[in-house]
C-alpha cells in the first residue's frame, strides 16, 4: 500500500480543488498527441489530427481530455487503494483499447507540464515531487492488469 | 528530426534563458535531485542544497552548453565531443539519468514560460534534449 504524508495529500487535493478540468484535460491530451505523435495511433476515430493546430482545435479530443482528467478523480477519492480502484480500467486499456502502458507515463508527463505552466512558480519542487508520486501510482495501477 | 521552425523555436528559448542560465539550470537540477533522489549519488562531492554556489555554477554550465549546442544542431557530435568523453569516461552517468534531467528541465521551462511554452515548443525542446542526451551518451559503450 502506498503511504501518503499529510503534506502530500494536501498538495494533491489543492491541485484538484482549483483544477479547470476542461482546460487542463484538453491541453494535456493535445500536448501528448503533439509531443509524442505515436500516441495518435489510438485516436483514429477522433477526426482531424493532421497537425498541431487541428489537434488543438479538435472538439472530440478536447472532450476526451476532460473525460480522462475526471477519471483521475477516482484516484483522488481513493488514494489509499488506487491499485484496485483502477483494476477494471486497466483491463479495459489492455484488452479492449490495446494501449501500450508506457504511453500512460507520457500522458502523465504532459499533464505535469501543463499544470506546471499554469501554476508557474507555485509549482514548487515539493509540489512536483508529490504530484509525480501521485501520477506514478496511477500509471502503475493502470498498467497492472496487463497480461 | 527537427524542422526549420523547431530549430528556430529552440534557439529562441535558449537565447531568452541565457541571462538567467544559472537560475534555470539550478532549478532543473534541484527538481531532479528531489524527484529522483538516485541522481544525487553523482554529486556527493558537491553542495547541492538550494541556492548553493555549486548548484548555480553547475546549472549555469549545463544551460550554456545546451544553448551553445542549439546554435548548430547538425554538428552536435563534433561540438559535444569533449563533453561526450567527460560524461563517458569520467562521470560515467547511468544514461537513463539524462532522461530524468531532460524531464525536469522541461518542467522548469513550463514554470518559467507558462503559456508561452506551447505544445510545439515543448515538442521541439523534447526532441532537442533527446538528441543532446543521445550524443552525450555516444561514447558510453
In the structure, what pLDDT confidence band is assigned to residue A47 with cuts at 50, 70 and 90?
very high
Name, in order, each residue with C-beta under 8 angstroms of A28's C-beta and a sequence gap of 6 or more: A65, A68, A69, A107, A110, A111, A114
Instruction: Please identify which residue in the block is written with the cell numbers 487541428.
Output: A54
Nearest to B119 among A31, A112, A128 (CB): A31
| Number of domains into which chain A is organized | 1
Ranges of H-type helices in chain B: 4-17, 21-35, 53-70, 76-79, 81-85, 96-113, 119-136
Residue whose entry in the numeric block shows the C-alpha cell 505523435: A37
- pLDDT tens, A127-144? 999 999 999 999 999 999
Instruction: Report the predicted TM-score, pTM, of the whole model to 2 decimal places.
Output: 0.86
Residue A102 lies in a domain: yes
Instruction: Give CA–CA dist B130/A106, Å, rounded.
Output: 14
Burial of B30 (0-12, 13-18, 19+ CB in 10 A): buried
Give the CATH number for residue A17: 1.10.490.10
Chain B from 53 to 112: CB within 8 A of any A CB: 103, 106-107, 110-112
Q: Which residue of B lies nearest to A126 if distances are taken between CA atoms?
A: B34
Q: What is this model's ipTM?
A: 0.76
- A136 domain-assigned: yes
Does the pLDDT value for residue A65 go beyond 90? yes
What is the per-residue pLDDT for B91? 87
Give residue A60's domain range: 6-143
A93 assigned to some structural domain: yes
Tell me whether residue A64 is annotated as binding: yes
Q: For all residues of chain A together, what is the average pLDDT?
A: 95
Does residue A13 fall inside a structural domain?
A: yes
Of B30, B34, B107, the CB nearest to A113: B107
Q: What is the mean pLDDT of the segment spanning A88-110?
A: 92
A1 is a domain residue: no
Q: Tell me whether residue A20 is in a domain.
A: yes
What's the grid cell of residue A25?
484535460
Average pLDDT over residues A64-88: 96
- Distance between A15 CA and the closest CA of chain B, angstroms: 15
Q: Is residue A47 part of a domain?
A: yes
* Residue that is written with C-alpha cell 493535445 in the block: A30
Per-residue pLDDT of chain B (141 residues), as tens digits, is 899 999 999 999 999 999 999 999 999 999 999 999 889 988 988 999 999 999 999 999 999 999 999 999 999 999 999 999 999 888 888 888 999 999 999 999 999 999 999 999 999 999 999 999 999 988 888
Amino acid at each position: 500500500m502506498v503511504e501518503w504524508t499529510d503534506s502530500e495529500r494536501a498538495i494533491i487535493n489543492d491541485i484538484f480543488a482549483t483544477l479547470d478540468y476542461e482546460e487542463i484535460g484538453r491541453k494535456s491530451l493535445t500536448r501528448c498527441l503533439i509531443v509524442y505523435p505515436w500516441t495518435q495511433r489510438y485516436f483514429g476515430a477522433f477526426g482531424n489530427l493532421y497537425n498541431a493546430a487541428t489537434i488543438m482545435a479538435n472538439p472530440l479530443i478536447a472532450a476526451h481530455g476532460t473525460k480522462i482528467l475526471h477519471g483521475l478523480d477516482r484516484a483522488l477519492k481513493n488514494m489509499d487503494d488506487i491499485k484496485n480502484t483502477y483494476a477494471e480500467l486497466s483491463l479495459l486499456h489492455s484488452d479492449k483499447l490495446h494501449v501500450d502502458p508506457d504511453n500512460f507515463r507520457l500522458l502523465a508527463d504532459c499533464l505535469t507540464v501543463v499544470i506546471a505552466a499554469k501554476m508557474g512558480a507555485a509549482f514548487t519542487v515539493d509540489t512536483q515531487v508529490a504530484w509525480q508520486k501521485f501520477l506514478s501510482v496511477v500509471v502503475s495501477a493502470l498498467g497492472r492488469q496487463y497480461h | 528530426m527537427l524542422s526549420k521552425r523547431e530549430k528556430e523555436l529552440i534557439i529562441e528559448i535558449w537565447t531568452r534563458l541565457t541571462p538567467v542560465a544559472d537560475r534555470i539550470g539550478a532549478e532543473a537540477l534541484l527538481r531532479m535531485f528531489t524527484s529522483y533522489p538516485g541522481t544525487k549519488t553523482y554529486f556527493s562531492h558537491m553542495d547541492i542544497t538550494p541556492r548553493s554556489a555549486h548548484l548555480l555554477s553547475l546549472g549555469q554550465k549545463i544551460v550554456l552548453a545546451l544553448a551553445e549546442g542549439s546554435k548548430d544542431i547538425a554538428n552536435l557530435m563534433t561540438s559535444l565531443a569533449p563533453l561526450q568523453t567527460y560524461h563517458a569516461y569520467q562521470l560515467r552517468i547511468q544514461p537513463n539519468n539524462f532522461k530524468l534531467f531532460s524531464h525536469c528541465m522541461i518542467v522548469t521551462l513550463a514554470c518559467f514560460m507558462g503559456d508561452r511554452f506551447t505544445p510545439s515548443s515543448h515538442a521541439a525542446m523534447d526532441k532537442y534534449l533527446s538528441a543532446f542526451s543521445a550524443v552525450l551518451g555516444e561514447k558510453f559503450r
